[in-house]
Amino acid sequence: MKKVILSLAVSIVFLLHTPAFSQTDDAKLSAQSQECLDCHLSVTPGIAGDWQKSLHSKTSPREAAKKTELEKRISVTDISKIENSSNVVGCYECHSLNGALHKDNFEHFGYKINIVVSPNDCNTCHPIEVAQYAGSKKANAHYNLASNSVYNLLVETLTNTKEYLQGKIIHGGRNNLAIGETCNACHGTEIKVDGKKTVQNAIGDVEVPKLLNWPNQGVGRINPDGSLGACTPCHPRHSFLIDIARKPYTCGQCHLEPDVPAYNIYKESKHGNIYDSKESEMNYSSVPWVVGKDINAPTCATCHNSLLVNGEGEVLAQRSHDFSDRLWVRIFGLVYSHPQPKSGKTYEIKNADGLPLPATFGGKISSDYLIDSNEQSLRKDKMKSVCLSCHSTGWTEGQLDKIEKINVETDKMVLASTKILLEGWEKGAADKTNPFDEELELMWQNQWLLYANSIRHTTAMMGPDYGAFKNGWYESTRNLELMKNFVKVHSAK
Amino acid sequence: MKKVILSLAVSIVFLLHTPAFSQTDDAKLSAQSQECLDCHLSVTPGIAGDWQKSLHSKTSPREAAKKTELEKRISVTDISKIENSSNVVGCYECHSLNGALHKDNFEHFGYKINIVVSPNDCNTCHPIEVAQYAGSKKANAHYNLASNSVYNLLVETLTNTKEYLQGKIIHGGRNNLAIGETCNACHGTEIKVDGKKTVQNAIGDVEVPKLLNWPNQGVGRINPDGSLGACTPCHPRHSFLIDIARKPYTCGQCHLEPDVPAYNIYKESKHGNIYDSKESEMNYSSVPWVVGKDINAPTCATCHNSLLVNGEGEVLAQRSHDFSDRLWVRIFGLVYSHPQPKSGKTYEIKNADGLPLPATFGGKISSDYLIDSNEQSLRKDKMKSVCLSCHSTGWTEGQLDKIEKINVETDKMVLASTKILLEGWEKGAADKTNPFDEELELMWQNQWLLYANSIRHTTAMMGPDYGAFKNGWYESTRNLELMKNFVKVHSAK
Amino acid sequence: MKKVILSLAVSIVFLLHTPAFSQTDDAKLSAQSQECLDCHLSVTPGIAGDWQKSLHSKTSPREAAKKTELEKRISVTDISKIENSSNVVGCYECHSLNGALHKDNFEHFGYKINIVVSPNDCNTCHPIEVAQYAGSKKANAHYNLASNSVYNLLVETLTNTKEYLQGKIIHGGRNNLAIGETCNACHGTEIKVDGKKTVQNAIGDVEVPKLLNWPNQGVGRINPDGSLGACTPCHPRHSFLIDIARKPYTCGQCHLEPDVPAYNIYKESKHGNIYDSKESEMNYSSVPWVVGKDINAPTCATCHNSLLVNGEGEVLAQRSHDFSDRLWVRIFGLVYSHPQPKSGKTYEIKNADGLPLPATFGGKISSDYLIDSNEQSLRKDKMKSVCLSCHSTGWTEGQLDKIEKINVETDKMVLASTKILLEGWEKGAADKTNPFDEELELMWQNQWLLYANSIRHTTAMMGPDYGAFKNGWYESTRNLELMKNFVKVHSAK
């Protein structure tokens, strides 16, 4: 008897601790996906094993659609249009979608499949999320650099390979490799299909489409089916688990120091302090997410886009996959702080000088393209309701008030650096033809792209050192001295 | 039968893994706190849920006082003076204390409560900890900047907003906002009560005290009851759990690169390596803390202030909330290394030049204000006994010896930079009126405030790169070259 | 009955969760080690407790040798030569080995033991690992600096203490202390035995060998028995657990920004993102390591040296303790990228200018000392087979292709900086006698030692920001501007 109890208890403990591949009776693997797995469990055990730990491997769209509104993880309403909707979501269910649109579609052991699964494919089950995302700055991130003449010049100038010749730095041509590994690693490359190629692997010679600018997982990737964006930067292949998307490491791949130190400042904030200390005791998988029960400190997703409820199941914040949904002001990536743009396509903005920027170099805001004060209030209130689930009204108002004020101060510091730059151009210490390539100009970039951003994020997220010594007021102050002295030494006049 | 066993075992596993809100028969929530929770569970579920996971929600002072001396978590001896001492420690038990002293006391739905719970309130149950803390540099951290004329100038110079006008950087007035977000985010702001204000929230219009310089959780905060400091930076609201205070992330909010890279160096040390690898298998909650059983690698708290015992329950180190208790030398924040100050009020120090600093700019130590060699030995021995619980005597002595020696070398490197600064002042490359505002002076600050600190911490905590390339010997060497060349180019003579 | 079940289940749960010191009947502690523990459990509870959680404390060599080939953790074939081979591996079993070779051997309460356990001692049970390691660059890391005239000059120049005298920076003599705390903290010191000394501890006065340059745990340490290297940097004392060696924190102690940002880039890559998010759910202890089951994201060890199998137990990659086993090109620490050296003793290399470097300053490769294209292909294929366990062939080839191309681009950027340096030397902006000590020369070092390394690692490991703003193309571009302008201002002609 004792032995039975012992082994039973041991089994239970293991069942609870070992993530296992289990299917309910109602949700079996399709015959097609089974055939994929027959090979891929051996030849790509990492992909197959990862998927085995996913919800996709355990749930069919049909079952997933039966959950209550708050618990639902899919947003499609009419599942009758979904093929294999009573099967779990296996390899074939995703890689076979919309083949006619996919330039990367090819025949692979009798099946027509795509290499890249795109947001337009995910749209089959998750249409609300895909639609929200499509309107965001993220989905347009590639074009927000490439189709913005100012930013495109910045990108090309910083990443092209240079030579030194007779006292001059000679810039090479556009360096797509470097751009793909840096800016577009986050912003997304344009994946092109360049015919076919034969690859040799365990199974023999296999013919596959040849992709250019690949691999890439940038949020604004241009996919072989023409769709924009990627879901995998936040829901990485092939587990697609929500807990990964909710943990700060995911956002931290792109939103990090020195240019966007959100992740780093979070880590040194009290929020990050509690998160790091209690990570293993909190629940990042539950839908909806219960404040105070599942989590005792927020992650990026908590404040910025997750569906939150209190213990009584009352909604504190609605889910959104437009990540500006709770943001009213934009504090990074541009010369001056400004209201969020109306459209995710920021390259459509024109400032008073005709440039595709939300403000002039002098600081005049391009109001027509930016959200108005009503919309700002609305979004601020959404964020406020998240703050209020853990903080008093007085605390919250004090905090939000500081954000507005610090933006004004950092904009003044940037303006001071812009004035030095203008004087430097006038006095010959730099040549304004390309405003991004010379020492004085690079110092000016530091002032807004690194230091002002750091100071603003510090206040917004309450992690002090990035406002002080680490690209904060210290460097910001020092940089003005450096610029002033540079102009003094290098003026032609 | 099997089903019974199964469900029993499952229940046990869940009980062991789910942090739950449970009260013993002897320790119920007071009627007052119950009334707080009736609303706050809905309107601020984060605060309420956090407290539910605290020991405060599960234990009464009366029960807590019954523990053995080594296991005790409260230090009050006469609990008869504590109101509701048989109840668990709920909202009301803390927020109602010493109302007459609190300028932030206000009436809230029939109760007189304070917004800010201060160390003087925590003193009700934790008097020994509060008394130790009150004498430390931490409790005096606000005044150690604000009441020190040299440091106050440094703070104001680095954080005020600048303009550029006709070749000159014009410094604006004192920028309390920026100081509060940077220096005083750690050192603490002075929280002032500026009348009342009406806030609108879920319940309707509520009148609350209007606090200035709030929110803030700096260690030397000046509270509305006049007390100094805050317990929440290390024991964050509202769980106050000891494991958070013992994990390195907490100290790392303020003691981090580039100015105080203790946290970062710990992370790249062997201690940090083991901590990170085995964090989830160690026990950070037990009191007392058993070396070798609970933990196999120290955190900041282990070496600096926790009560430690060996497996036989013999005390290896006594708890202290004066965080210099095991420190004999001071290696950061000031121009030269020096013995720890006698008093936590470092602004009372006067050096031979009449300045409130533990050494002159030339390196002469202000011995009268610093602990003598006997006290240094005593504190060194305390630290040594911690080292010896995991390392041999030879190892430990070798390590401590290196600390003394590296301080001498870094002080020499700082002296070299000071000499260049003096020559720069003399030759007109900078103006000494304000020693903190110009390029040459900022390079000098880098030498001691960043590079010397990094090198010393590297040796003290054994994480190599901060002594090498990351603000270490590499930058330290480079900075002397930069300073020398700056003086050459910018000398007026 | 219910109570019995309850307590049984509770016990099981605790047994499963509490790492405990348990010995099987076949593997008891030797009498000698028991005597060690009799004291050391009290006086060094950290060491003893750590060992209690090791496999050494639970397994005898005899039992360990019975495992299947893939599961084996020891590689000795003839265990008959091992003393106490039926006992667990206790204090005495390691600290008593090869006493005649150990200058640090001494009598300690009746036993002749060594302070330092060296790779030659570990060789008793782990000969294959020790032999692989001995041939690697790691084991030779001390001499690869000290016996390389160029690198030795670099090391001494950066770490010696400087003074400032009459407009000049005066370099002091070799600073062994600083070198030991920086370069040799990773590369290893030469531990010398300097007679005996008496230490005072809990037991009374104890005479022990006096060690110089100790403590140290660098990978190329020169031990008192004359052997090279140390196993403890990756398998830290005294648990020696394989999971610590497999976690990225361990490699991250030395392979980190700014000079070797492998760890940091891993952390911000998708691999690191998944690792951080799912760390507590993966298995780092199993041997062999099953891709897709034990782990869903690789750590450093996964890609670089661990034994990997798929779910069917087929080997994907063989274990190696020569950490270049899967590396074909060398992308850090030297001026230009180049094929891996043939021998771990890189100080034996001679370039076309007679210097001990794998390339000339102009970029000409020292091919005779570097692996040929066949060996490069072989190693690349080993790495490729690891990639392929989680990625398609097209993905993998695209990725590996980018590495080759980015090396070419970064080498061009370094060449540009070298040309400016040469011009600077010619024009008197720096003196080439020592190529490492002046501002211009330090900028040149930044170009290859920091920026080129960062960009290459970024591509190799797919973490974008170190290729962009953090010591990447941004700084690389800026640095050329700085160097060019420095030569302009400081030229004597």
Tens digits of pLDDT across chain A (493 residues):
455 454 444 444 444 443 334 444 468 999 999 999 999 999 999 999 999 999 999 999 999 999 999 999 999 999 999 999 999 999 999 999 999 999 999 999 999 999 999 999 999 999 999 999 999 999 999 999 999 999 999 999 999 999 999 999 999 999 999 999 999 999 999 999 999 999 887 778 889 999 999 999 999 999 999 999 999 999 999 999 999 999 999 999 999 999 999 999 999 999 999 999 999 999 999 999 999 999 999 999 999 999 999 999 999 999 999 999 999 999 998 999 999 999 999 999 999 999 999 999 999 999 999 999 999 999 999 999 999 999 999 999 999 999 999 999 999 999 999 999 999 999 999 999 999 999 999 999 999 999 999 999 999 999 999 999 999 999 999 999 999 999 999 998 5
- Reported as a single tens digit per residue, the pLDDT across C99-109 is 999 999 999 99
Asked if C249 reaches chain B (Cβ–Cβ under 8 Å), the answer is yes
pLDDT of residue A201: 76
CB contact under 8 A, C390 and A47: yes
Query: Which residues sit opposite A290 in a β-bridge?
Result: A309
3-state secondary structure C454-493: HHHHHHHHCCHHHCCCCCCHHHHHHHHHHHHHHHHHHCCC
Reading the block at residue C255, the tokens are 């392979």
Are residues C360 and C353 in contact, defined by beta-carbon separation less than 8 angstroms? Answer: yes
Q: Give the residue among C216, C240, C242, C238 at the shortest CA–CA distance from C229.
A: C216
pLDDT of residue A231: 98
In CATH, the number for domain C237-490 is 1.20.850.10
DSSP A318-360: ---SSTTTT--EE-SSSSS-EEPBSSS-GGG---TTS-SSSB-
Class of domain A241-490: mainly alpha
- Which chain A residues are closer than 8 Å to C8 by Cβ? 2, 5-6, 9
Reading the block at residue C254, the tokens are 């030395």
pLDDT of residue C368: 98
Chain A segment 261-290 residues within 8 A of C by beta carbon are 280
A107 Cα to chain C: minimum distance (Å)? 15
Q: Give me the residue label for tokens 């190799």.
A: C460
Strands A315-317 and B338-339, sheet pairing: unpaired
Alpha-helical segments (H) within A67-148: 91-95, 119-122, 127-134, 141-146
Burial of B38 (0-12, 13-18, 19+ CB in 10 A): exposed
Distance CA A149, CA C134 (A): 55
DSSP A396-416: HHHHHHHHHHHHHHHHHHHHH
pLDDT of residue A26: 61
Distance CA B233, CA A114 (A): 52
Are residues A373 and A486 in contact, defined by beta-carbon separation less than 8 angstroms? Answer: no
Reading the block at residue B115, the tokens are 């917004």
pLDDT of residue B27: 81
Interface test with A, best of B115, B162, B260 (most A CBs within 10 A): B162
pLDDT at B22 over 90: no
CB contact under 8 A, B274 and C236: yes
CB contact under 8 A, A292 and B47: yes
Q: Give the residue among C343, C338, C342 at the shortest CA–CA distance from C365.
A: C338
Segment B359-387 mean pLDDT: 97
Domain-by-domain residue ranges, chain A? 1-95, 114-233, 241-490
pLDDT of residue C493: 56
Reading the block at residue B255, the tokens are 């003691």
Chains in contact with B, where contact requires at least 3 CB pairs less than 8 Å apart: A, C
- The residues of chain C scoring below 50 in pLDDT are 1, 4, 6-25
A173 Cα to chain B: minimum distance (Å)? 33
Phi, psi of B106, deg, nearest 5: -155, 165
CB contact under 8 A, B243 and A273: no
- Reported as a single tens digit per residue, the pLDDT across A140-183 is 999 999 999 999 999 999 999 999 999 999 999 999 999 999 99
CB contact under 8 A, A480 and B164: yes
E strand or H helix at C171, and its extent? strand C168-171
CB contact under 8 A, B292 and C48: yes
DSSP tag of C343: S
Say what the pTM is.
Answer: 0.94
Q: Give the residue among C265, C276, C290, C295 at the shortest CA–CA distance from C403.
A: C265
CB neighbours of residue B475 within 10 Å: 23
CB contact under 8 A, A115 and C392: yes
- Reported as a single tens digit per residue, the pLDDT across C366-406 is 999 999 999 999 999 999 999 999 999 999 999 999 999 99
Integer angstrom CA distances of residue A470 from A493, C9, C158, C471: 35, 52, 24, 15
Distance CA A445, CA A151 (A): 12
pLDDT of residue B5: 52
| CA dihedral of B80, B86, B92, B93, whole degrees rounded to 10 | 40
Are residues C219 and C187 in contact, defined by beta-carbon separation less than 8 angstroms? Answer: yes
DSSP tag of B165: E
Burial of B107 (0-12, 13-18, 19+ CB in 10 A): exposed
pLDDT of residue B26: 61
Q: Which residue type is seen at C102?
A: H
pLDDT at B11 over 60: no
pLDDT at B340 over 50: yes
pLDDT of residue C117: 98
CB contact under 8 A, C467 and A13: no
Interface test with C, best of A15, A182, A191 (most C CBs within 10 A): A182
Phi, psi of A370, deg, nearest 5: -115, 155
Residue B201 binned pLDDT confidence (cut-offs 50, 70, 90): confident
pLDDT of residue C388: 96
pLDDT of residue A147: 98
Burial of C351 (0-12, 13-18, 19+ CB in 10 A): buried
pLDDT at B92 over 80: yes
Greatest CA span in chain A, whole angstroms?
97
ipTM here: 0.94
CB neighbours of residue B80 within 10 Å: 7
Sign of CA dihedral B212, B216, B217, B218: negative
Sign of CA dihedral B332, B334, B335, B336: negative
CA atoms within 13 A on the CB side of A370: 20
CB contact under 8 A, A484 and B209: no
Q: Give me the residue label for tokens 């099953």.
A: C290
pLDDT at B441 over 90: yes
Chain B segment 433-492 residues within 8 A of C by beta carbon are 455, 458-459, 462-465, 467-470, 472-474, 477-478, 480-482, 484-485, 487-489
Are residues A221 and A227 in contact, defined by beta-carbon separation less than 8 angstroms? Answer: no
Reading the block at residue A456, the tokens are 């603003």
Q: Give me the residue label for tokens 């300053």.
A: C361
In CATH, the number for domain B238-490 is 1.20.850.10
